[in-house]
C-alpha cells in the first residue's frame, strides 16, 4: 500500500512540474514599456426609429437581426385618412381656382363696360357743351362710370382673395403630402435591427418607437487608464483590440476621445500617489472600412482588451500585429 502511495505522489509531482514548465515556457510575455492596456467591450450607437405623428402602423418591413441601409423604409403608417384629406384639398383647390377665374372674368367685363362708358361720357360731355345733349344724360353717364369703377375695384379684390384661397388650399395639400411622406419611417443609418418594437396594425402615439437600429458604422470600445498613461495619448493615435471571443485576432482601432476629466477621483489628490489613481475614459473607434467589410461579423457587447501606445516612438510587438478574420463572401 505504501509503495502505491509513493508512486501516486511521484506521479502527481511529475504532473505538477510538467504543468509548471508548460506554463513557464508558454506564458504570454509581459507588455513592453510604452504600451498600456485596459478592459472594455464593443459598443455602438443605438438609433430609435419613431413616429412623428400618432396613428396606426400599416406594416413593419424589417425583422430583428437583419441589416438595413441608411434611408431604407423600416415601416409604413396607415395614411387612408390623410389620403382622403388630400382628395378633399384637391377639390377645394379646383373650387378656388374656378372662383378666381370667375372673378377675373368679371373684372374683364367691367373694364370693357367702363371703357365704353368713358367714351360715351366724353361724347355726351362734348355735346352738352355745345347745347346738343341734356345735363341729365351727362350725369347718368358719370354715375354709370363711377359704378363700373367700383365694380372693377371690387372685382380685383375678389380676384386677390380667390388667389389667396387657392394658395392656402395648395399649402394645405402640401402639408398633407408632407405628413404622408413622414409616415414612411426610414433608418437614418446603416446597421443591424436590434429590436422590432411594434407589429402590423398597432396604434402608436406621437414619438412612438417602432424599431431600434444598431449603427455599426460607429463601433467603439471604452476603457479607463490612469492619468500617467491617458496624459500621453493623442486623438488619432493607433490602438489595438483583442476580443475574448476571438483571441487569435488583433483588430486595429484609433483613439477618438480622451476624457478631459477624471472618472474615478479619490477623496484626496494632494499627493502624487493619490493623483496616480485618477482614471480617465478613453474611447477607441474601429475603422469604418473595416466595419463595412465585416458588417455581417460585427457584434457589440463582446468583451476584450484594448492596447494603446503611451510612447508613439516604439513599434507594436509582434503579438499585437494586426490580424483580421477572413471576410465572409
pLDDT tens digits, residue range 80-106?
A: 888 888 888 888 888 888 878 887 888
Per the document, the length of the chain is 329
On the question of pLDDT at 121 being above 70, the answer is yes
At 174-222, the pLDDT tens digits run 888 877 777 888 898 888 898 999 899 888 888 889 999 988 888 999 9
Whether 167 shows a pLDDT value over 50: the answer reads yes
Phi, psi of 83 (to 5 degrees): -60, -40
Domain with CATH 1.10.287.620 in the chain: 80-182
Closest CA to 86 of 175, 168, 162, 183: 175
Q: Which residues neighbour 220 within 8 Å (Cβ) at sequence distance 6 or greater? A: 42, 43, 44, 253, 256, 283, 284, 285, 286
Residues contacting 70, CB < 8 A, separation 6+: 187, 188, 189, 190
What's the rounded Cα separation, in Å, for the pair 222 and 74? 30
Domain with CATH 2.40.30.170 in the chain: 30-43+218-320
Using DSSP's 3-state secondary structure scheme, residue 155 falls into helix
Q: What is the pLDDT of residue 264?
A: 63
Q: Is 305 within 8 Å of 225 (Cβ atoms)?
A: no
Give residue-wise pLDDT tens across range 139-159. Answer: 787 788 888 788 888 878 877
Neighbours of 320 (CB within 10 A): 20
The listed range with the strongest mean pLDDT (16-20, 170-174, 208-212, 260-264) is: 208-212
* Domain 30-43+218-320 CATH class label: mainly beta
Residue 89: per-residue pLDDT: 83
pLDDT at 22 over 50: no
- For residues 226 and 231, give the distance between their C-alpha atoms in angstroms, rounded to a whole number: 8
CATH 1.10.287.620 at 80-182, yes or no: yes
How far apart (Å, rounded) are the C-alpha atoms in residues 61 and 72?
A: 10
Is pTM beyond 0.75? Reply is: no
How confident is the model at residue 326, as a pLDDT?
74
Helices then strands (H, E): number in the chain? 6, 12
Q: Residue 28 has what pLDDT?
A: 47
- pLDDT band at residue 53 under the 50/70/90 scheme: confident
- What pLDDT is stored for residue 240 in this prediction? 94
Of residues 12 and 119, the one with the higher pLDDT is 119
Mean pLDDT of 65-90: 86
% residues pLDDT > 70 (the chain): 86
Interacting residues of 259 by C-beta distance below 8 A, sequence separation 6+: 230, 280, 281, 282
The model's confidence at residue 15, banded by pLDDT at 50, 70 and 90, is low
Q: Nine-digit cell at 186?
A: 426610414
Q: How confident is the model over 127-150, as a mean pLDDT?
A: 79
- Spell out the CATH class of 49-78+184-209: mainly beta
User: Greater confidence, 258 or 141?
Assistant: 258
Give yes or no for residue 23 having a pLDDT over 50. Answer: no
pLDDT at 20 over 80: no
Task: Tell me what pLDDT residue 83 has.
Answer: 80
Under a CB-based contact definition with an 8 Å cutoff, are residues 318 and 262 in contact? Answer: no
Give me the chain's average pLDDT, please: 81
Residues of the chain with CATH 2.40.50.100: 49-78+184-209
Amino acid at each position: 500500500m505504501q509503495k502505491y502511495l509513493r508512486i501516486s505522489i511521484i506521479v502527481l509531482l511529475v504532473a505538477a512540474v510538467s504543468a509548471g514548465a508548460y506554463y513557464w515556457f508558454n506564458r504570454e510575455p509581459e507588455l513592453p514599456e510604452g504600451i498600456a492596456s485596459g478592459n472594455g467591450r464593443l459598443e455602438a450607437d443605438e438609433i430609435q426609429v419613431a413616429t412623428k405623428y400618432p396613428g396606426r402602423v400599416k406594416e413593419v418591413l424589417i425583422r430583428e437581426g437583419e441589416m438595413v441601409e441608411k434611408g431604407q423604409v423600416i415601416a409604413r403608417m396607415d395614411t387612408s385618412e390623410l389620403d382622403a384629406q388630400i382628395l378633399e384639398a384637391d377639390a377645394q383647390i379646383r373650387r378656388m381656382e374656378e372662383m378666381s377665374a370667375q372673378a377675373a372674368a368679371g373684372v374683364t367685363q367691367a373694364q370693357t363696360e367702363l371703357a365704353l362708358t368713358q367714351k360715351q361720357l366724353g361724347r355726351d360731355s362734348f355735346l352738352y357743351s355745345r347745347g346738343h345733349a341734356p345735363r341729365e344724360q351727362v350725369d347718368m353717364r358719370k354715375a354709370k362710370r363711377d359704378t363700373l369703377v367700383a365694380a372693377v375695384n371690387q372685382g380685383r379684390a375678389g380676384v386677390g382673395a380667390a388667389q389667396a384661397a387657392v394658395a392656402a388650399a395648395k399649402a394645405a395639400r402640401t402639408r398633407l403630402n408632407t405628413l404622408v411622406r413622414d409616415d414612411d419611417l426610414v433608418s437614418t443609418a446603416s446597421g443591424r435591427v436590434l429590436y422590432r418594437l411594434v407589429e402590423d396594425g398597432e396604434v402608436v402615439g406621437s414619438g412612438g418607437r417602432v424599431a431600434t437600429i444598431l449603427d455599426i458604422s460607429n463601433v467603439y470600445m471604452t476603457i479607463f487608464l490612469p492619468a500617467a498613461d491617458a496624459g500621453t495619448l493623442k486623438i488619432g493615435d493607433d490602438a489595438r483590440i483583442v476580443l475574448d471571443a476571438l483571441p487569435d485576432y488583433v483588430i486595429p482601432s484609433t483613439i477618438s476621445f480622451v476624457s478631459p476629466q477624471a472618472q474615478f477621483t479619490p477623496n484626496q489628490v494632494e499627493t502624487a500617489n493619490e493623483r496616480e489613481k485618477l482614471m480617465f475614459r478613453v474611447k477607441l473607434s474601429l475603422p469604418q472600412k473595416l466595419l463595412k467589410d465585416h458588417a455581417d461579423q460585427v457584434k457589440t457587447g463582446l468583451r476584450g482588451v484594448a492596447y494603446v501606445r503611451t510612447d508613439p516612438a516604439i513599434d507594436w510587438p509582434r503579438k499585437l500585429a494586426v490580424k483580421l478574420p477572413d471576410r465572409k463572401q
